[in-house]
Each structure stands twice: as structure tokens, then as C-alpha cells.
């Protein structure tokens, strides 16, 4: 778990769109450093008012378990948000940016997006919990998606603090940590 720098994470399909260069410039104009990510769909933006949750798991079959990992990871995040008194919903919102079946929303605002990267022997489940900066997220995505010529509903973009201003990134981190399984520590051999 970590707090990211201001980032505009573009998907590989974005790079193929005619407006990609303009979208990169739009991201920079809004203070988000563009990067191309190996997981997920279209562009997303986040900054240190967000919490990134990543989990690496071992597996034997590269094609198996994708939906289970999405479900387990999303369930853990939803439980953490519920422990903070929020009422999250799972599923794609009509017109949401970077649409996904396991998106998490509150009051029609997407507050969590997730993706996976699977390689032989291991899988990465990664999710971004957007806690603050909803207006900045909407403004940046509006210009980025216009440059990419992607249709979407700007009302789906925002952050938890748009509906629950008392929730902080620190509280989200604590709630996520509280729901993590405890693993015994290896004995100190040094």
C-alpha cells in the first residue's frame, strides 16, 4: 500500500489513438505526470490524496483465477470502505471512465478502479482508491478524454471526499490494513 505521486496512467489502447500526444499534454497541464501502464483500460489520474493497494499472489495456471482475484481484492476494499461508514457499490457505472466490472462507486462516483497483470507463476492485483481531489480528477479527465476522443460521463469521476469529506487517505489506509490477513513472520536468523 502506498500514496502515489500525481500520475496520469494511460492504457496501451490510448497510445494508439490519434489524440494521444494531446492527451499527454493535457495531463501535464493539470499537474499529472503521464505514464503508460501495463494493466487496465483507458486513462486514469490520481495523486497523493489516493491510496494504491497492490497484492502479488502465486498461481500455477496463467489463465486461471483472474475473476477470483478481482472478486477477492474488490471484496477486501469494499469491506474496508464499509468499515468507514460508506456504502460502496460494485460494477460498471453507465458512462464511467476506464470502465470495469469491478469498479467501486459511491453515489454514482467511481472511487476505485482495479486491474491485473498476470505472468507465469504470479499475478498482481492493483487498485487505486481515490480519496480526495475529485474536482481535479474530473477536470483532468475531461481534457484527457476529449483529446483521446473517448465518450464518457464526467459525473462518474470524483473521489470519496466528494460524498464523505471526513474520510482521509490515512483512514482508508488503516481500514485496508485492518482487513489484511495476518501472516506469521519468519524467525530472525541474523
**pLDDT (0 to 100) of residue 132:** 98
**pLDDT (0 to 100) of residue 188:** 54
- 66-83 vs 169-178: helix axis angle to the nearest 10? 120
pTM of the model: 0.91
Alpha helices in the chain (DSSP H): 12-15, 20-29, 66-83, 134-148, 169-178
- Do 4 and 54 meet the contact criterion of CB atoms below 8 Å apart? no
Q: Any bridge partners for residue 113, and if so which?
A: 128
Q: For strands 44-46 and 7-10, give the pairing.
A: antiparallel
**pLDDT (0 to 100) of residue 62:** 78
Whole-number Cα distances in Å, 129 to 39, 120, 185: 16, 27, 28
**pLDDT (0 to 100) of residue 183:** 54
**pLDDT (0 to 100) of residue 179:** 78
Residue range 27-43, pLDDT digits in tens: 999 999 999 987 668 99
Extract the C-alpha cell encoding 38.
Answer: 501495463
The answer to whether domain 7-178 has CATH 3.30.930.10 is: yes
User: Which contacts qualify for 136-141: CB closer than 8 Å, 24 or more apart?
Assistant: 136/30, 136/31, 136/45, 136/47, 137/45, 137/46, 139/30, 140/8, 140/26, 140/27, 140/30, 140/31, 140/32, 140/45, 141/43, 141/44, 141/45, 141/97
Residues of the chain with pLDDT under 70: 39-40, 181-190
Domain residue spans in the chain?
Answer: 7-178
139 φ, ψ (degrees, to nearest 5): -65, -45
66 φ, ψ (degrees, to nearest 5): -60, -50
Amino acid at each position: 500500500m502506498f500514496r502515489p505521486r500525481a500520475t496520469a496512467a494511460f492504457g496501451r489502447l490510448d497510445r494508439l489513438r490519434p489524440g494521444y500526444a494531446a492527451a499527454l499534454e493535457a495531463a501535464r497541464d493539470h499537474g499529472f505526470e503521464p505514464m503508460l501502464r501495463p494493466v487496465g483500460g483507458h486513462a486514469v489520474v490520481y495523486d497523493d490524496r489516493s491510496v494504491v493497494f497492490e497484492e502479488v499472489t502465486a498461481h500455477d495456471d496463467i489463465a486461471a483465477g483472474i475473476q477470483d482475484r478481482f472478486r477477492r481484492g474488490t471484496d477486501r476494499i469494499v469491506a474496508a470502505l464499509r468499515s468507514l461508514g460508506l456504502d460502496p457499490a460494485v460494477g460498471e457505472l453507465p458512462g464511467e471512465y476506464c470502465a470495469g466490472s469491478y469498479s467501486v462507486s459511491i453515489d454514482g462516483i467511481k472511487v476505485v478502479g482495479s486491474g491485473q497483470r498476470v505472468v507465469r507463476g504470479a499475478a498482481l492485483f492493483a487498485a487505486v482508491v481515490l480519496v480526495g481531489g475529485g474536482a481535479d480528477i474530473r477536470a483532468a479527465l475531461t481534457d484527457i478524454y476529449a483529446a483521446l476522443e473517448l465518450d464518457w460521463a464526467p459525473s462518474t469521476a470524483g473521489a470519496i471526499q466528494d460524498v464523505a469529506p471526513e474520510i482521509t487517505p490515512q483512514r482508508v489506509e488503516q481500514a485496508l490494513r485492518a482487513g489484511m490477513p495476518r501472516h506469521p513472520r519468519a524467525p530472525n536468523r541474523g
